[in-house]
């Protein structure tokens, strides 16, 4: 039992390390189906997609740049919070958009 928790925790940690880490975590968890890892993969995927949306908003002069700068700080905070939750073995949703990420990606 303890071994499964450690493996799920490793996969969850990998999911927060760049988009390549997210893909690797998704593939690693595809066979094993650890709930802890699935939770953090969903949160990480939502974070990554939010970053893509913010990058498109940054195209808009001045207002878009301000939104992008604020968004980067918020995403950084959310990423650190998600990574710390994965390290500590917690399944807490990220602040602000974590509930939406869990709801949107519940079928992953």
How far apart CA 25 and CA 34 sit, in angstroms, is 11
Pairwise pLDDT comparison (4 vs 59), residue with the higher score: 59
pLDDT tens digits, 19-30: 999 999 999 999
Distance CA 67, CA 69 (A): 6
Confidence at residue 1, expressed as pLDDT on a 0 to 100 scale: 43
Give the torsion through C-alpha atoms of 7, 13, 17, 22, to 10 deg. Answer: 60
> For residue 81, what is the DSSP state?
H
């Amino acid at each position: 039992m303890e071994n499964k928790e450690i493996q799920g925790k490793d996969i969850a940690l990998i999911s927060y390390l760049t988009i390549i880490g997210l893909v690797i975590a998704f593939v690693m968890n595809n066979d094993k189906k650890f709930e802890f890892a699935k939770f953090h993969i969903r949160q990480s995927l939502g974070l990554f997609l939010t970053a893509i949306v913010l990058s498109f908003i940054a195209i808009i002069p001045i207002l878009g740049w301000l939104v992008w700068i604020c968004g980067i700080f918020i995403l950084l905070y959310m990423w650190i919070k998600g990574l710390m939750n994965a390290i500590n073995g917690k399944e807490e949703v990220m602040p602000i958009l974590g509930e939406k990420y869990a709801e949107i990606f519940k079928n992953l």
